[in-house]
Amino acid sequence: MVEIHLNGLDNSRAAHIPRECLVRMQSIYPVAKRAERSAVEFLAQNPERVPDLSIVDFAAQAGCSEATVVRLSKRLGYEGFPELKRDFAKSTASVDTTTYSEHNFVYADIGTGDRPLDVLQKVIQATIDGLHDTLNILSYEDYDACVDRISTATRLLFVGLGDASTVALEARQRFLRAGKIADAPLDADTQLMIASRLQAGDVFVGISHSGRSRNVVEAARLAKLNGATVIAITNAPVSPLTKKSDHVLLTAVFTRYLKGELIAKRIAELCIIESLFANYVNRQGAEVVERLRKSEESVEHNKL
């Protein structure tokens, strides 16, 4: 069975998967054994068929045992396979497939008849859901390790492409104000050059929702090759970026946005950056607080 990236599912399929279940699928997929991973892949690729399958048929088509299906159902939060089927049936019944037409509105959850306030509420709620799910899926062990590495790092390099670069720039701004040596170059060649000059004691932070941004992955490879600690902030647990990383900070923003970029995924990344910075300030204490005060004073003349 072909390996899949759960975050990269076609939107029309993802809509058939209960949101809480999708979050758990993303969480367990990277660490699942081969048989269980096959079951997750089949579930992700055929969600609309699940309600009509017996456990025997599911196991046969997924290439695993019935015991694996039962075990997976429980890991996904259900008492057993029948409960999983019922939840998928409810999710499938609620899907309005017409919203996925290329000629329809760009958001699956928003219709052309929605009032402006309805649209505002739905967009904000999608962001809230993404933040809540990110908090639930994040590895606390990896997060603690990242706080340790950043707190003791000699130099920080943040790399992102497209609108992910705004997250990298915000991270650089935060740590620079606290007196930390930090960089976030926008030029692709410069990103690679600086990454190649990192060394042991430095920290590289790659920001990519898909985990497949070519330059971010290559910069991570160069940083790791030279002994730097590599941290990935991504929505994709199994991706080229995570394979190059020492620590992975997962976001869980499952969007039905069909075209272009969605700000919700960047908000989750920004919250992770902000929390890492807050932990750094807490650990460093009065000295960093004083640096922040001086930084604020230095730019005060730019304000009216």
Co-location of 141 and 204 in the same domain: yes
Q: How many domains is the chain built from?
A: 2
Tokens for 186, please give them.
């926008």
Per-residue pLDDT reduced to its tens digit, 257-288: 444 457 888 999 999 999 999 999 999 988 88
CB 65 within 8 A of CB 81: no
Angle, helices 66-75/81-93, rounded to nearest 10 degrees:
60
CB 223 within 8 A of CB 195: yes
Alpha-carbon span 34 to 25, nearest angstrom: 14
CATH number at residue 33: 1.10.10.10
Question: Where residue 200 falls among pLDDT bands split at 50, 70, 90?
Answer: very high
Co-location of 88 and 235 in the same domain: no
Co-location of 74 and 196 in the same domain: no
Alpha-carbon span 241 to 220, nearest angstrom: 7
Co-location of 288 and 232 in the same domain: yes
Co-location of 33 and 171 in the same domain: no
* For residue 104, pLDDT beyond 60: no
Co-location of 85 and 145 in the same domain: no
**What is the residue range of 258's domain?**
137-302
- Of the residues 65, 95, 125, which one is the last residue of a structural domain? 95
Domain presence at residue 107 = no
Question: Where residue 19 falls among pLDDT bands split at 50, 70, 90?
Answer: confident
Co-location of 145 and 69 in the same domain: no
* For residue 290, pLDDT beyond 50: yes
CB 183 within 8 A of CB 194: yes
90: closest CA among 53, 51, 44, 126? 51
CATH number at residue 287: 3.40.50.10490
Per-residue pLDDT reduced to its tens digit, 221-263: 999 999 999 999 998 887 899 999 999 999 988 655 444 457 8
Domain presence at residue 130 = no
- Of the residues 62, 77, 95, which one is the last residue of a structural domain? 95
Tokens for 139, please give them.
């590895």
Domain presence at residue 126 = no
Co-location of 68 and 152 in the same domain: no
- Of the residues 36, 68, 95, which one is the last residue of a structural domain? 95
Domain presence at residue 101 = no
Domain presence at residue 202 = yes
Q: Is 67 left (phi over 0), alpha (psi -120 to 50) or beta?
A: alpha
Domain presence at residue 127 = no
pTM: predicted TM-score of the whole model, two decimal places: 0.77
Co-location of 19 and 141 in the same domain: no
